[in-house]
Structure 1
């Protein structure tokens, strides 16, 4: 893993891929470990393990766009 870091516009959250690879420590849609919530290893983003929390889609939750 390289030392390159990426900064999230909001904060980083785990993806479904991360949950499938490590279900005991990563849950899709939940924030990643506190020390990495804003700045995380670029490798995690490149591998699809994290995404910006603003991109998380929670099933059954309505957004403002649903009412416009």
Structure 2
């Protein structure tokens, strides 16, 4: 497996775990690392198409609330 693919899969797993643990600081830190390592295009595709499809409805709602600075 190429390192690029392994990095992407690892980031996706860690983002999902941070969401499930309700760890906002960890999630933001992982997004920052993802931007540095993979770039905006890859991170956007990763979160938009893969991460959201793996979330339950409650987790997706919490993710949107975080974006708006709310806590559910």
Structure with higher helix content: 2
TM-score, structure 1 length as denominator? Answer: 0.29
With a CA cutoff of 8 Å and minimum separation of 6, indicate the structure with the bigger relative contact order. 1
Structure with higher strand content: 1
Bigger CA radius of gyration: 1
